[in-house]
Chains A and B, each alone.
Chain A
Amino acid sequence: MSEQLLEVECEIPEGSFNPVEPFLRMDRIPHIWCAGCGIGTTVNCFTRALLESKANLDKVAIVSGIGCTGRVAGYARLDSFHTTHGRAIPFATGLKLANPELQVVVYSGDGDLFAIGGNHFIHAARRNMDIKVICVNNLTYAMTGGQTAPTTPSHVISATAPYGVFEPAFNLVQLADACGASYVARWTTFHVKQLARSMEEVLKKKGFGFIEIVSPCPTLYQRRNKMGDGLDTMKYYKQASKIRHGAPTGECSLTKSGEIVVGKFIDRERPDYYELLQAQMHESLGDRYAEPEVGCSEC
């Protein structure tokens, strides 16, 4: 990916204070996220990616699960669905298949997507469902008070691991890669320009796209592990991150305080679920195959 800066036309709409206001439900602001939390930063990047991609926002739907990141859907001024814990991906699957012209984005957290929702993630990636999954990975269950997640690195103290986590964590980008995702990238909330570009890129990429964003939870994760505040975490991300596009994802595990490999790891062409479905039906049924017309307003 080029390192050029994201060029966003920063025209401030009339009556607004910020160029991203048209993308947000301003009547729901202020949001619930803590000072120093990274989720708002990722939302800012997402709105800029939407702005830059010139997408028709009436045709972009956002689906979240439960948790701090699960609240993103409620703030985005899009068709938005705040679903049940772990089930944003299967909801998005139904939404996309019923209405293929929609750009369907799943925006949720690591616990939601990879513990309770892990089964759905691997199968949506296997199918190469044409949805984009954005995971804010704060390495913990934040909404419920900082318990161990399947992403929490070894030796970290959490609310449910007071003597330190000892079970191995998932490497999310390796998991996504192994399951067949068409696009896999990781950034931190320090890499706002790269992240916004990556989001813009994944929106244009057909098939199952996955972006992991390593993000601080100063209130719980950083505080409990004496890692400082949000600013300290930015300094850590800056110092510890290495941009290695195309790096083998198996070499990109996250640790408590070690190197963070970021970049775009996977960008490959695979037919998506809908294309495979249509090809198979044309082959088996020929002229008898009727194209799905499920999203019918008159039905």
Chain B
Amino acid sequence: MHADPKGVLTGVHFLDGDHACCEGTLAAGARFAAGYPITPSTEVVERFASRIPTVGGIFIQMEDELAASIAIQGAVWGGAKAFTVTSGPGFSLMMEHIGYAAITETPCVFVNVQRGGPSTGLPTLPAQADMMQARWGSHGDYGIIALCPNSPQECFDLTITGFNLAEEFRVPVMMMLDECVGHMTEKVIIPPADQIEVSPRRYTHKPPAEYHPFEPGEDLVPEMVKAGDGYRFHVTGLTHDERGYPSMDVATQDRLVRRLLDKLKPFSNGRAICDTADLEDAEVAVVSYGITSRVAQRAIELARTRGIRAGKFRLISAWPFPEQHIAALAGRVKAFVVPELNLGQMVHEVERAAAGRAKVIPVSHAGGTVHDPEVILKAIVEAAK
């Protein structure tokens, strides 16, 4: 279905990534946001607070990130599309409710504008050090989707994609911005509403007597209901059976937890979102994401001018990790160069997928600014030897 025109600010704009992300939420149909102020992410909800009263929806500033990250889930079960926004310290507090969203299969979006860590770290400066936390931060086994925009335009476009994927797979989706992308101002084109596809919630058509809230369909995703429609359903963070009833049964646990991961398999295999260039003849593939991919682009161009056949593999969907793509490349390239604004996170996934069939060279950075392209270039030159 098409976007509701009420939320779509069609036109050509000059926006920073945070504001573009906010416009993405509105275009995607989000009508509820709960937040707690934290640099460098707050501009997303500041704009939402300004825009939503004329669109028709709710913004509430909660007392902390724990509250914000569960209020959005109450809103989802009330029928809204909803999201929250934060940065590192707040993201840590939200982990409990990322787990809750995963086990209750509550479609919602968490925007994390990453800054330097650990702890309070570098509040106003960029990092990409929450990538593993996004995937593994809550306890137990579960799957999520994480998207990494590298421009304000992508902050708009991918936020819509993120909401759509949350509905399709009934998972929490992480929008993994970083301070640079969040605060970078560029041209953003917002198309007319009838050119924006949004995924509706997968509401059931079954009558209450035939409906089991956690009975999966063929694609392993159950159909949803919302409160107030007469289904009298139960939702719990305990391990539960298809009826939604708690169960301490080992077989039920196995069935549920495996499904939470398996339902994302099509995405990790066939539907991973990647941006590639110059890989056909590449001897070195530079794997990057977010702001670092723009620095890596410069390094790749410099390498090509020196006659080194470098290519680009940009992770747009970092999770589920596109391991089949990397595995396929590993048979063709000599090496992967993996620059990231952390001391080594996604590089471990590249190593795992490459499985020793190509060298993997990390270009780590503790955060606070972006890489110098020369540093990445040096790694490419080294890799091509």
Contact A101 B228 (CB under 8 A): yes
B31 engages A94 (CB within 8 Å): no
Interchain CA distance A128-B237 in the complex, whole Å = 27
User: Can you list 8 A-B contacts with CB-CB less than 8 angstroms, sorted by A residue number?
Assistant: A79-B228, A91-B74, A94-B76, A95-B227, A98-B79, A99-B78, A123-B63, A297-B79
Query: Across chains A and B, which 7 residue pairs bring their CB atoms closest together, nearest first?
Result: A94-B74, A98-B78, A295-B79, A99-B78, A94-B71, A95-B74, A90-B67
CB distance from A41 to the nearest CB of B (A): 22
In Å, the complex CA distance between A95 and B227 comes to: 8
A84 touches B31 (CB 8 A): no
Contact of B74 among A25, A59, A81 (CB under 8 A): A81
Of the 9-residue stretches B10-18, B51-59, B311-319, which lies at the interface with chain A?
B51-59
- Excluding A84-B237, A297-B79, 19 further A-B contacts by CB distance (< 8 Å) are A58-B232, A63-B74, A73-B234, A74-B245, A79-B77, A87-B97, A90-B62, A90-B70, A94-B70, A98-B32, A98-B79, A99-B226, A120-B63, A123-B63, A292-B31, A292-B58, A297-B203, A298-B200, A299-B81
CB-contacts of B175-214 with A (<8 A): 200-201, 203
Q: Mark A60-80, 1 if CB is under 8 A from B, else 0.
A: 010100000000011001111
Interface residue? A281 (CB, 8 A): yes
A83 CB-CB contact with B under 8 Å = yes
Let me know if B29 and A79 touch, CB within 8 A.
no
Give chain B's interface residues, CB within 8 Å of chain A: 4, 6, 29, 31-32, 34, 53-58, 60, 62-64, 66-68, 70-82, 96-97, 100, 200-201, 203, 226-238, 245-246
Q: Considering the chains assembled together, what is the distance between the CA atoms of A82 and B358 in angstroms?
A: 48
Residues of A within 8 A of B74 (CB): 63, 81, 90-96, 98
Chain B nearest CB, measured from A69 CB (Å): 14
Binds B, one of A4-12, A140-148, A169-177, A283-291: A283-291
Contact of B6 among A73, A119, A290 (CB under 8 A): A290
Q: How far is the CA of A291 from the CA of B82 in the complex (A)?
A: 17
Question: Which chain B residue shows the least CB distance to A121?
Answer: B63
Q: Please, which residues of chain A bring their CB within 8 A of the CB of B230? A: 58
Give the docked Cα–Cα distance between A92 and B60 (Å). 13
Chain B residue with the shortest CB-CB distance to A28: B245
User: Is residue A1 contacting chain B, with contact meaning CB distance below 8 A?
Assistant: no
Q: Is the CB of A93 within 8 A of B80?
A: no
Task: Give A285 to B56 CA distance when docked, in angstroms.
Answer: 12
Cα A13 to Cα B31 with chains together (Å): 41
Give Cα distance in the complex from A288 to B50, angstroms.
12
Task: Name B's interface SS.
Answer: mixed
Nearest B-chain residue to A298, judged by Cβ: B200
What's the A-B contact tally at a CB cutoff of 8 Å? 182
Is the beta-carbon distance between B75 and A97 smaller than 8 angstroms? yes
- A234 surroundings in chain B (CB, below 8 A): none
CA–CA, A74 and B203, complex, Å: 22
Cβ B236 vs Cβ A119 within 8 A:
no
* Residues A94 and B228 in contact in the complex (CB < 8 Å), given A99-B78, A294-B58: no
Given A90-B66, A94-B73, A99 contacting B228 (CB threshold 8 A): yes
Within 8 A of B (CB), among A229-285: 277, 281, 285
**A83, chain B: closest CB distance, angstroms:** 6
A83-B79 CB under 8 A given contacts A61-B227, A294-B57, A297-B203: no
- Of the candidates B64, B78, B203, B245, the one having the most CB atoms from chain A within 10 angstroms of its own CB is B78
Assess whether B67 is in contact with A299, with CB atoms less than 8 Å apart: no
Interfacial chain A residues near B29, Cβ < 8 Å: 299
Query: In the assembled complex, which residues on chain A have CB atoms less than 8 Å from the CB atom of B82?
Result: 94, 98
Q: In the bound complex, what is the Cα–Cα distance between A84 and B102 (angstroms)?
A: 13
Given known contacts A95-B77, A97-B78, A87 and B234 CB-to-CB distance under 8 angstroms: no
A133 smallest CB distance to B (angstroms): 14
**Is B66's CB under 8 angstroms from A293's CB?**
no
Minimum CB–CB distance for B26 against chain A, Å: 12
Cβ-based interface call for A102 (8 A)? yes
Cα distance A74–B80 in the bound complex, in angstroms: 23
Contact B78 A293, beta carbon cutoff 8 Å: no
Query: What's the Cα separation between A82 and B238 when bound, in Å?
Result: 8
Q: Nearest Cβ distance between residue A131 and chain B, in whole angstroms? A: 10
**Centre residue among B55, B56, B81 by max chain A CB count within 10 A:** B56
CA distance A79 to B74 in the complex (A): 12
With both beta carbons as reference points, the residue of chain B lying nearest to A61 in the complex is identified as B227
Q: Are A74 and B31 in contact (CB under 8 A)?
A: no
The residues of B that contact A73 with a CB separation of less than 8 Å are: 234, 236
Q: How far is the CA of A63 from the CA of B70 in the complex (A)?
A: 12
Distance in angstroms between the alpha carbons of A95 and B4 in the assembled complex: 22
Chain A residues numbered 94-145 whose CB sits less than 8 Å from any CB in chain B: 94-99, 101-102, 119-120, 123
A74→B246 contact, CB < 8 A: yes
CB-nearest residue of chain A to B243: A27
* Closest chain A residue, CB of each to CB of B31: A294
The closest CB in chain A to the CB of B74 belongs to A94
User: What A residues does B234 contact at CB under 8 A?
Assistant: 25, 73-74, 80-82
Contact present for A299 and B80 (CB under 8 Å): yes
- CB pair B79–A294 under 8 Å, yes or no, is yes
Which of B55, B232, B238 has most A Cβ within 10 Å? B232
* Bound: A82/B213 CA distance, A: 14
Chain A residue contacts of B228, Cβ below 8 A: 58-59, 61, 79, 99, 101-102, 295
Q: Bound state CA distance, A58 and B236, in angstroms?
A: 19
In the bound complex, how far is the Cα of B4 from the Cα of A130, in angstroms?
29
- Chain A residue nearest in CB terms to B34: A94
Q: Which residues of B contact A63 (CB under 8 A)?
A: 74
